[in-house]
Structure 1
Amino acid sequence: MKKVIFILVCSLFVYSSFAQDMAKVEPVQFRINFLAPGAEVEFGVTKSSTILLNAGFLWGIGSSEDFNGNVETNFAILPIIDGQYRYYYNLKQRQEKGKNISKNSGNFIALKGTYYFTESFLENLEGNEEDLFTDESDLSVIGLAYGIQRTYFDWLHLGFEGGIGYGQTRTDNVVLPILSFTIGYAF
């Protein structure tokens, strides 16, 4: 009997040691963002990559110049939808150093696509027009980003990402920076 217990204890020790080496992303997690109000869900697709889907609102600032050379600055809160493929490249190293990797706390590289709706989209929505997605100023962006994501106290989500994207409206193409900072609640 002592041999059986000894073998079971050794097996559990080996298994738990092996399990600690298996740094991997969470299967599914939900978050609510406060700075840019919205909700997101992140699905684990491999042990180190995820798909993130986000719907919410984004603070925006822009300027335009009229025919007389007068510059006008505009502020807006616009609805967005965002999708990302994230590759977390340092989960194992963070775990080996004894750092938190829960709720995908790590650094990542992302391929992201975002669609920014404009105020005229909202006006069309209220007017029940048939084709809501024809506004020339709606912007779709695809780009690459580097990001850092941390979760503290098992609920406080902090995220930062920066990169470069290629944006397109119906009439214009632009290269623009990608910059995002989020504070939220992770479930």
Structure 2
Amino acid sequence: MIKNYLFVFLSILFINAVQAQDDTPVSVEKHQFKINPLLSPGFVYEHGFSAKNTLYSEASLIIGYRHNSFYDESTWYFVPRITEQFRHYYNLEKRASKGKRTAHNSGNFFALYADYSFESISTNKLFSEYCPSFTVGPVWGLQRTYKKRFNIDLNVGLGVATDRNETEVLPIGNFTIGWVIGK
């Protein structure tokens, strides 16, 4: 059933991409690099392959802190993560007509979100280990780039997550703060 929903979602995005006009006055950036030093540090590359569609690729590090009250010990953990999104920006023309920024992919989007979190690179035998997981699902989001290339990116949705122990439906949320680098 989930495969059917994903198929319908991807079909709608593909049809929109095929019907997109080539002479639209605004479009997404062809190549965009970002650095996100806060919250979940990482690097992002967003490749625009049509006027409204991009492939968003992120390599980041989840940083967390846990406390074990039984042993009265605490630990930090570091989990490498790769995130991919096929994004369709749907309101660029509307933003441009209102005089709002569209530079550096400032707009709202729908996306198919896929995320793989690796095993933690820090260990502590007193804590349960963080096992690798894979999450996929549709999200809605917005990205804004302000003066001096300050960037915020937020996306939320519902997805399916699986690891070696279980598979479950859960909310997806990702929020980054960073800077667009390059031209």
TM over 0.5: yes
The whole-number CA distance in structure 2 between the counterparts of 1:88 and 1:141 is: 22
- The answer to whether 1:177 aligns with 2:180 is no
Runs of 4+ in 1 over 6 A off after TM superposition: 61-64
Alpha-carbon offset, residue 118 of structure 1: 2.2
Higher helix share: 1
Alpha carbons of structure 1 residues 74 and 86: separation in structure 2 relative to 1, 3 Å: farther
Tell me the C-alpha RMSD between the 2 structures: 2.8
| Corresponding residue for residue 48 of structure 2 | 44
Tell me the SS of whatever aligns to 1:98. coil
**Do 1:61 and 1:74's aligned partners in 2 also have CA atoms closer than 8 Å?**
yes
Tell me the SS of whatever aligns to 1:58. strand
| Corresponding residue for residue 84 of structure 1 | 85
| Corresponding residue for residue 4 of structure 2 | none
User: Which of the pair has more CA radius of gyration?
Assistant: 1
Name the TM-score, length of structure 2 as normaliser: 0.73
5 Å-filtered alignment, 1:111-130, equals 111-119=112-120, 122=121
**Do 2:119 and 2:130's aligned partners in 1 also have CA atoms closer than 8 Å?**
no
Cα distance per residue 1:153-180 (max 9 Å; x no partner): 1410111111111011123101111111
5 Å-filtered alignment, 1:7-156, equals 21-35=24-38, 36-60=40-64, 76-119=77-120, 122=121, 137-156=131-150
| Corresponding residue for residue 7 of structure 2 | none
**Partner amino acid, structure 2, of 1:158:** I
